[in-house]
Structure 1
Amino acid sequence: MKSCLFYSGILLLCLAVGLYVVCSLYLLRNPWILHKKKRLEFYCRHISHRGGSGEKIENTMEAFTHAVAVGTEMLEMDCHLTSDGYVVISHDYNLMRQTGYDKTVSSLRFQDLPLYEERLEVTFYVGHYSTGKDRKFVLLEDLFKKFPSMPMILEIKENNDLLIKKVSNLVKQYHRESFTVWASEESDYCPYTWSVIIDAVIKISKPFKRNLLFFLCRGILLLLLFYTGLLPFVPLGESLLLFYLPSIINRTYIPEEAILKKRFVVYLLQKLTMRKSLFEHLIKRGLQVNLFVCNEESDMEAAFAVGATGVMSDYPTLLTNYIKKHPPPPPPPITQPR
């Protein structure tokens, strides 16, 4: 009798696991059964990293203007706060790499920010440099005025409530709620940053709530959900997935993290993250999948081949020419959110 109950239990467990696996796989391919598809007001294949830092000095008005002129569909940038309360575009908090001055953005007034170096190495393309006539830092508000309808990714580079609030207010003031995307990489404050940004977003408007990019913690959670089969059952608040193309690591991009310099770790990262079935599932749910930073044609080809809907590059002209030579399928129609 006990033996019979034991085998019956094993059989029931196997049936339950089998049913779970079948349901998970089916819903992975057919997510609309459980989830309403997201309807974004933008669809961007071409994204310029720091305004296209390989062709002009990064994050300058000249760089952003050039990228838009050659056909970019989205601009990516990083936000900091000056001592006099201005939201300024700068990748680094400390200005040594960019200007040669060992000062932080928050310690200076906007008018006292030094000029960029005349020649600046491209972070994601070691050994390559950019130059330009414009070497001035840019205010976020000036970019909003210059490009009122251009989608932008705004990365919050500081764990700073005031910075988040000021960026939120600017987005609302210039009516950019539906085509501005929030991002953050503050791993040390990941849960904190996530909750603060969510709160800020909700206070602005409902459409803006959807335009979130997966932060580090949420990206890890996304992979865990995918590999455990739970992803098809879980609602997602984000609109975009932005991730490294792992093949650039230690080739065009040399990371500071020692762990990423190990060949096996990069190989494992490639195998775990570049999953076409994962990307297809997210796309079917209305998310956009962007890979960065692709500064060679072979990397652009690899990114689109694995299922990316968009590519981020430091070389907007190169990316424009690549897309012209290799046009992807037409994007889905953009409809107004309900």
Structure 2
Amino acid sequence: MDWMLVIALIILFLDLFIPCSLYLLKNPLILHKKKKLDFYSRHISHRGGAGEKIENTMEAFTHAEEVGSQMLELDCHLTQDGYVMVSHDKNLKRQTGLDVAISSLKLKDLPLYKDHLEVTFNVGHYSTGKDRKMALLEDVFKKFPKMPINIEVKENKDELIEKVASLVKKYKRESITVWATDDSVIMAKCKKQCPSMPYSFTMGRIFLLLVLFYTGLLPFVPLEESLLQFYLPSVINRKYIPEESILKNRFVVSLIEKLTMRKSLFDHLVKRGMQVQLFVCNEESDMDAAFSVGATGVMSDYPALLSEYLRNHPLPPSTM
């Protein structure tokens, strides 16, 4: 008798929970206040547009702005003498041919980028340009005062985080600069240094997001993040060869795609005021795939190509 009562209560709970969860998934503002950001970026230039100019140079960032980019994506590291440099890698071998860490060199000793640099997310293709000099983050802030910038912090270094936050505050761009990192410990430090900056989901939080989504709990849970940034899985092992051995398994990548590329999930986040940005889309078919699944923005190494795509495929006006 007791077991029958338990089963009956479970059935009653599910009868109430499931329709309520589905309704709130489509109507999240019943429980949550819509987030407001000071920017809306459909067009994001990955590393400043690494396929059309040498990545992360002032020439690349200038070109991206000129062709219509609405956000710059970049990474930062510290030199030995404490300057915040824009560089994807902490070791310079891939970018310059010199097998040395940025942190071991002074600003004046930093080498130039290679004159032809392979595009990480378009294997076998190379970019070139007149500018081969590494950029200071401060110079980027000076030249592009109104451009939204996504800063990924890859190293757990307090001095780096403090100096990035200090520069953001110095140039009064907290509302248009985004904290991004895969690491939850690093993100906690970033938020502490400049809590007014919007920030994206870490990998741990993305995993939690998926658990909440598939259990039906997501509509009931508050989320502090303002952006979801994630791979478009279909580019992995086709345009991008990952270092992680697990991502070289096509079954794993296919499973990731099926679990993450859910339009109902993205639509829910967008209704809550978040932006969903997928990367790195370097072909029109990838841009199609990203926007069709519900992305609000696309990161590309080819900003001119992305601008042409957006001109030829006008999207509905944002409701954000």
TM-score (norm 2): 0.98
Q: Aligned pair 1:195/2:188, yes or no?
A: yes
CA drift of 1:150 comes to 0.1
CA drift of 1:199 comes to 1.3
Q: Aligned pair 1:32/2:19, yes or no?
A: no
CA drift of 1:227 comes to 0.8
- Residues of 2 paired with 1:101 and 1:238: CA distance? 38
Partner of 2:132: 135
CA drift of 1:272 comes to 0.1
**Given residue 40 of structure 1, which amino acid in structure 2 is its aligned partner?**
L
- Residues of 1 paired with 2:10 and 2:54: CA distance? 60
Deviations 1:72-120 (CA, angstroms, capped at 9, x unpaired): 0000000101111110000000000000001101001111100000000
Contact map agreement 2:213 2:265 (CA 8 A) in 1: yes
**Given residue 8 of structure 1, which amino acid in structure 2 is its aligned partner?**
L
Q: Which of 278, 281, 291 is the matching residue for 1:291?
A: 278
Q: Aligned pair 1:98/2:98, yes or no?
A: no
- Residues of 2 paired with 1:274 and 1:181: CA distance? 23
Please show how residues 164-183 of structure 1 align to structure 2 within 5 Å.
164-183=161-180
> Identity of aligned pairs, percent?
66
CA drift of 1:330 comes to 1.0
Report the 3-state secondary structure (helix = DSSP H, G, I; strand = E; otherwise coil) of the residue aligned with 1:298: helix
**Given residue 175 of structure 1, which amino acid in structure 2 is its aligned partner?**
K
CA RMSD of aligned residues (A): 0.9
Partner of 2:269: 282
Deviations 1:210-255 (CA, angstroms, capped at 9, x unpaired): x101111111111111111111111111111010001101001111
Please show how residues 43-58 of structure 1 align to structure 2 within 5 Å.
43-58=40-55
Q: Aligned pair 1:124/2:121, yes or no?
A: yes
Report the 3-state secondary structure (helix = DSSP H, G, I; strand = E; otherwise coil) of the residue aligned with 2:299: strand
- Residues of 2 paired with 1:63 and 1:194: CA distance? 27
Please show how residues 103-252 of structure 1 align to structure 2 within 5 Å.
103-185=100-182, 190-202=183-195, 206=196, 208=197, 211-252=198-239
**Given residue 224 of structure 1, which amino acid in structure 2 is its aligned partner?**
V
Contact map agreement 2:153 2:186 (CA 8 A) in 1: no
CA drift of 1:6 comes to 2.9
CA drift of 1:18 comes to 2.1
Partner of 2:242: 255
Question: Which range is displaced more, 38-47 or 14-23?
Answer: 14-23
CA drift of 1:26 comes to 1.1
Report the 3-state secondary structure (helix = DSSP H, G, I; strand = E; otherwise coil) of the residue aligned with 2:194: helix
- Residues of 1 paired with 2:222 and 2:241: CA distance? 35
Contact map agreement 2:180 2:187 (CA 8 A) in 1: no
Partner of 2:304: 317
CA drift of 1:191 comes to 3.6
- Residues of 2 paired with 1:18 and 1:47: CA distance? 43
Instruction: Structure 1: state its 5+ residue gaps.
Output: 334-338
- Residues of 1 paired with 2:200 and 2:40: CA distance? 14
Report the 3-state secondary structure (helix = DSSP H, G, I; strand = E; otherwise coil) of the residue aligned with 1:65: helix
Partner of 2:316: 329
- Residues of 2 paired with 1:17 and 1:198: CA distance? 38
Q: Which of 249, 272, 281 is the matching residue for 2:259?
A: 272
Contact map agreement 2:80 2:103 (CA 8 A) in 1: yes
Deviations 1:148-170 (CA, angstroms, capped at 9, x unpaired): 00000001121101100000010
Q: Which of 64, 69, 72 is the matching residue for 1:72?
A: 69
Instruction: Structure 2: state its 5+ residue gaps.
Output: none
